[in-house]
Structure 1
């Protein structure tokens, strides 16, 4: 049921959502109806982040479904084994070079159209009894949102410190929680073999 009722009361929860775009609506590389020879898809011509990401940001709300409840945070960090100083940024955009107005940085050039060699995934979940407290405490809920979205997890280099601080804060709030960690290797990634190249052609 979509509406709350005595038998199906409304549950206010933080949820892990998944964006699911139907195949028939996937027009990322679709050419305009009046396309002529040499016309490129809008994605290739995008010059701003708004244009580049609109293909999923626009339908994000209408095309997303819940995967799990009581999820406080999901942190995904691209990792580069063997590299002493990985990019200090949670964003990994294979088309970031497209937004460069001048010289393309070594990092942008290396990850151009390339998957990262591995990604670290961290999931922070609270138990149901703790969420019952959060559900009825607007101040606590707002504090948690601000803590995760604004105060912590702004720099990958501080990930371990941020997780330690988050766990300590949740413990102080008497919120039972678990932190799940895993690293997933992407076998198809060619980042190590391609990172020295600095292509100059248009994306």
Structure 2
């Protein structure tokens, strides 16, 4: 019987075994590990870079349109304060007689609210869209004048106010030293579309001047003098009391909604609802310079502000507009932007869907505007809100005596 026994390995074999077990990774394994790690680092870097770009773009967009947003909010807030301080008073059959005979009650006011295409309100304006002028208790005064210094701080003073878009240079608003020479070379002239705010100090207004008497005027140009000028000193224009609120505002669109009463012969058995006005024009003194005893737009707007306004502000960012200028030149960029609104903004019901009606199956003008802006490859933003005028009345009928 033979028994086989396995002898213990010798010193050399044991050392070889230990070397084999402790040799680690091969060169190929190390290269593969490094490659995998590099790919992971690249992927992580790409993800982080994309996140940073998204955050940067979002922040840039907020900053780019911050001025437009703040201007839009300020305009909406002040428009909501527009007032006419309307009251019911007699309309006489023979107002010039010694003892005039009362005919009926009617809304009367010493104030004025007017909106329309900017060129209809201000023939010298060069902006797109619409303008609006009104009165509100904003308490703005000119402290540099004797009267202004004495009434400064009276926050409930009535001011004539307004908004419109204009196109022009920024040189006239620069300090003198920045208009020529090296400062001008370092900061070239910028011609832009801007949202302008008409701020007329209370002590400059001619609205309550005895020689003005807005209620007795029958010509449109005479009625509009309170915001067009000349003012108390016999000089002055709208531009003199206007300041830019935001640059690169391509257009301001103001859609009026009115109260319409139907279905009855008196307030008790009739229905009053809010409808979008067909025309952008809304003038509370239309009855003075376009008189008519039956036209609905004359009677419904007589000394009564709109029920509601739908405000739309179309803005672009400075980089996009500057890129357009580099590509087309200043005059060419201006023309391209004007062409965006060419043939549009004449009928209010075509601009956007009526808030009180079902959506119609048609292309609205706001869609056309966005298509044209996209074709110009400009980055833009559309701000839209509705403003209810606190001073608007529900009473629309003419009350008989």
> Unaligned stretches of 5+ in structure 1?
33-40
| Structure ranking higher on relative contact order (CA contacts 8 Å, 6+ apart) | 1
- Residue 35 of structure 1 corresponds to which residue in structure 2? none
Deviation at residue 24 of structure 1 after TM alignment = 1.2
Task: Name the SS of the counterpart of 2:303 in structure 1.
Answer: coil
- Residue 165 of structure 1 corresponds to which residue in structure 2? 368
Between 1:130-139 and 1:82-91, the stretch displaced more is: 82-91
State the TM-score, normalizing by the size of structure 1: 0.83
- Residue 50 of structure 1 corresponds to which residue in structure 2? 221
Between 1:99-108 and 1:6-15, the stretch displaced more is: 99-108
Deviation at residue 100 of structure 1 after TM alignment = 2.8
What is the aligned counterpart of 2:332 among 139, 144, 155? 139
User: In the alignment, does 2:16 pair up with 1:16?
Assistant: no
- Residue 396 of structure 2 corresponds to which residue in structure 1? 195
- How many pairs align? 188
Q: Is 1:106–1:198's contact at 8 Å kept on the other side of the alignment?
A: no
> Unaligned stretches of 5+ in structure 2?
1-173, 230-236, 260-271, 353-363
Q: Is 2:218–2:289's contact at 8 Å kept on the other side of the alignment?
A: yes
CA 198–100 in structure 1, closer or farther in 2 if over 3 Å, else same: farther
What is the aligned counterpart of 1:111 among 301, 304, 318? 301
How do 1:30-179 residues align onto structure 2 when only pairs under 5 Å count? 30-32=209-211, 41-58=212-229, 59-80=237-258, 83=273, 86-136=276-326, 137=329, 138-148=331-341, 150-160=342-352, 161-179=364-382
What is the aligned counterpart of 1:26 among 192, 200, 205? 205
Deviation at residue 196 of structure 1 after TM alignment = 2.0
CA distance in 1, matches of 2:338, 2:304: 32
Larger Rg: 2
Between 1:181-190 and 1:74-83, the stretch displaced more is: 74-83
The two structures, once aligned, show a CA RMSD in angstroms of: 2.2
Task: Name the SS of the counterpart of 1:119 in structure 2.
Answer: strand
